[in-house]
Amino acid sequence: MELSKRQQQILDIVRAEGPITGEQIADQLGLTRATLRPDLAILTMAGFLEARPRVGYFYAGKKTGQIFGDQLRKMLVREYKAVPINIAENTSVYDAIVTMFMEDVGSLFVVREGGQLVGVVSRKDLLKVAIGNQDTREVPVSLAMTRMPNIVTVTGDDTVYDAAKKLIEYQIDSCPVVRPLDETGRNLEVIGRFTKTTIAKVFVELGENREV
Amino acid sequence: MELSKRQQQILDIVRAEGPITGEQIADQLGLTRATLRPDLAILTMAGFLEARPRVGYFYAGKKTGQIFGDQLRKMLVREYKAVPINIAENTSVYDAIVTMFMEDVGSLFVVREGGQLVGVVSRKDLLKVAIGNQDTREVPVSLAMTRMPNIVTVTGDDTVYDAAKKLIEYQIDSCPVVRPLDETGRNLEVIGRFTKTTIAKVFVELGENREV
């Protein structure tokens, strides 16, 4: 929502002098109360101002970015997650790299039979092994991966915002989307993949004028 | 901006039946024209509806996402770009990988003396060499890199939105931010790095209620 010049002036006045009545704002702008009515209604309903009877308008502290943020934090990982690519623990580093190229992904999830997540392996992890002196065909991926319980995960119910924050905070490019495999809550099953590519796609979608 | 239930009803009516007069909308909702006036003012000023004298209201096609998108497309690459990490053409693949780990980046830019961009090398490019049968210490990075003029670039004046779209479109994780090095326009100088991490950071910032 873009504010008109007059709406911006009203906001500035209320920010500096609120609580302030509609009359007083109109006086300062050299306008009638009636002229200001639609602007005040818009600013109030959009959350920029709050109005209290017999007190006047005061600044609600909601800025454009905040309204933006409110919208943004309604998007759930469930709706945006990508398909996970899983491999077995005894897969060689070489085969893991080949799988990465074939599937065109930047990370693979290592799972046991029955679906239990045991590790995550990234391009970075594999590069580290590849420049070592070992034969990548001989080293199992389990020696290169990040293991449970050190894996950063998100759930389908997390917001895209929270998930994005996690990737930034832990400086990782992606993480598995999981759900509990049993009642202990310690064994997790992979149901998706959340990556910086996911975020970039959501970002572009937002910019494309589509409904959020 | 969040719409009230009544505002949403008005939008639905106008979308289905517009152009339609305020009176007619009021009739359908069983309300008076006066009651609807603030809602119609808000919807019009926020860009959801357009009003034409003697015709009535019609749907302007501006949805929440669109207003969102307008804001989003004001952010420039210049303000968000990261520091570029440059290497020379004769750097070995091994040393490039080490530089990547030391600098904690996913791509390096290959530049000539004088600052001219000649290539870009990603983790993916380096992994490809690393699983080959060559010694990574013997292979120069110039054999693994994407070369000019095949490099996808952005400028500081591009919007973050357009840059994000480029990364998605070309399926790359990052690209150099460049400016012309001379008048031919064919020789480019690297002035920054634009990555999916940049986008993720902007996304989180937007969600954090900060002013855009």
Name the helix (H) or strand (E) containing B182: none
Cα-Cα-Cα-Cα dihedral sign, residues B156, B157, B160, B164: negative
Number of Cβ within a 10 Å radius of residue A113: 7
Structure tokens at A5: 């010049």
Is the CB of residue B173 less than 8 Å from the CB of residue B195? yes
Tokens of B134: 């060559």
On whether the CB atoms of residues A88 and A76 are closer than 8 A, the answer is no
Q: Respond yes or no on whether the N-terminal peptide bond of residue A19 is cis (omega within 30° of 0).
A: yes
Interface test with A, best of B12, B15, B71 (most A CBs within 10 A): B71
Phi-psi region of B19 (alpha: psi -120 to 50; beta: other; left: phi over 0): beta
Q: Identify residue B18 by its one-letter amino acid code.
A: G
Contact across the interface for B131 and A130, Cβ inside 8 Å: yes
CA nearest neighbour of A27 among A60, A48, A62, A56? A56
pLDDT of the residue at B52: 77
| Most confidently modeled range among A34-38, A60-64, B8-12, B77-81 | B77-81
pLDDT at B65: 54
pLDDT given for residue B151 in this prediction: 97
Give the helix/strand (H/E) hosting B164.
helix B160-169
Which CATH architecture fits B5-70? Orthogonal Bundle (1.10)
Write down the H helix ranges in chain A. Answer: 5-17, 22-29, 33-45, 64-72, 77-80, 93-103, 123-130, 160-169, 196-207
Contact between chains at A45 and B47 (C-beta distance less than 8 A)? no
Asked if A97 and A148 count as a contact pair (C-beta separation under 8 A), the reply is: no
Q: Which residue has the higher pLDDT, A97 or A44?
A: A97
CATH 1.10.10.10 residue ranges for chain B:
5-70
pLDDT, tens digit (0-9, with 9 covering 90-100), for A147-180: 999 999 999 999 999 999 999 999 999 999 999 9
Extract the tokens encoding B42. Answer: 């808000």
Pair of tokens at residue A83: 């398909």
The whole-number pLDDT of residue A211 equals: 43
Please tell me which residue, A31 or B206, carries the higher pLDDT value: A31
Instruction: Work out the average pLDDT over A29-46.
Output: 86
Average pLDDT over residues A202-212: 70
Residue for token pair 């509990």: A180
- CATH number, domain A5-62: 1.10.10.10
Question: Given an 8 Å threshold on Cβ–Cβ distance, is A207 in contact with B64?
Answer: no
Q: Is B118:B112 a contact under the CB 8 Å cutoff?
A: yes
At B66 the pLDDT is: 59
| ipTM of the complex in this document | 0.71
| pLDDT tens series, chain B, 212 aa | 678 889 889 988 888 887 888 889 999 999 998 888 888 888 877 777 877 777 778 776 555 555 567 667 778 999 999 999 999 999 999 999 999 999 999 999 999 998 899 999 999 999 999 888 788 999 999 999 999 999 999 999 999 999 999 999 999 999 999 999 989 888 999 999 999 999 999 888 887 754 43
DSSP for B138-154, please give it: TSBGGGTSEETTS---B
Cα angle A79, A73, A167; round to 5: 75
Return the number of other C-beta atoms located less than 10 Å from residue B28's C-beta: 13
What pLDDT sits at residue B208?
Answer: 76
Contact present, B106 and B122 (Cβ < 8 Å): yes
Q: Identify the pLDDT of residue B92.
A: 97
List chain B residues with CB under 8 Å of A47: 1-2
Assess contact for A99 and A108: CB atoms under 8 A: yes
Helix (H, G, I), strand (E, B) or coil at A127: helix
The fold of A77-207 is: CBS-domain (3.10.580)
Pick the closest to residue A72 from B43, B164, B67, B208 (CA basis).
Answer: B208
**Residue A112: predicted pLDDT:** 95
d(CA A68, CA B71): 9
Residues of chain B with CATH 3.10.580.10: 77-207
Residue pair B8/B16 in contact (Cβ under 8 Å)? The answer is no
Q: Between A164 and A67, whose confidence is greater?
A: A164
Interface of A with B in 50-89 (CB under 8 A): 63-73
DSSP string computed for B48-102: SEEEETTTEEEE----HHHHHHHHHTT-BHHHHPBPP-EE-TT-BHHHHHHHHHH
Work out the average pLDDT over A32-41. 87
Report the pLDDT averaged over residues A179-188.
91
Q: Does A41 contact chain B (CB < 8 Å)? A: yes
Chain B residues close to A100, C-beta within 8 Å: 127
| pLDDT at A62 > cutoff 60 | no
In chain A, list all ranges with CATH 1.10.10.10: 5-62
B127 and A128 within 8 Å at the Cβ level: the answer is no
Chain A residue nearest residue B93, CA to CA: A131
DSSP state of A32: -
The predicted pLDDT at position B61 comes to: 58
Token pair of B184 as six digits: 């031919």
Residue A187 binned pLDDT confidence (cut-offs 50, 70, 90):
very high
